[in-house]
């Protein structure tokens, strides 16, 4: 098997509209509809599919739970600018900017929570 990357992941959420509004307004996601009316958040070549809590699509995780996600989004915007924009949008920054290690190098990261309480890291690769 020659696994090459991550195509998408799934978040189980309480309110798809509120989730879409947050990710679109705060994190510049593109909200897309696919399949038979399903919803996803597009970030470049990857997406986050959204499952409504209590009405998840099959197959699904064994114990899908809103707020159990923890993932990292990459940005090319300077992380200090990201932090400023988040605070100006009224988003609580949980931590950061802080140095972290990504899949292929050093990151500068800020952490926030989405409407379901998922931990979202926004990170800029450092040269």
* Cβ count near 28 (within 10 Å): 12
Residue 71: beta bridge partners?
120
- Respond yes or no: is residue 121 known to be catalytic: yes
Q: Which of 36, 56, 88, 121 is catalytic?
A: 121
Taking alpha carbons only, the member of 71, 66, 61, 65 closest to residue 27 is 71
Take residue 22 and report the two structure tokens written for it.
């947050």
- Indicate which residues carry an active-site annotation: 121
């Amino acid at each position: 098997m020659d696994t090459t990357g991550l195509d998408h992941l799934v978040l189980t959420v309480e309110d798809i509209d509120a989730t879409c509004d947050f990710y679109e307004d705060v994190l510049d996601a593109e909200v897309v509809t696919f399949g038979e009316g399903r919803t996803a958040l597009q970030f470049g070549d990857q997406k986050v599919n959204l499952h409504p809590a209590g009405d998840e699509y099959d197959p699904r995780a064994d114990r899908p739970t809103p707020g159990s996600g923890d993932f990292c989004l990459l940005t090319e915007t300077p992380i200090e600018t990201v932090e400023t924009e988040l605070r100006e949008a009224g988003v609580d920054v949980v931590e950061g900017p802080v140095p972290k290690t990504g899949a292929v190098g050093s990151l500068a990261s800020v952490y926030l929570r989405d409407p379901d309480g998922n931990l979202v890291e926004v990170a800029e690769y450092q040269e």
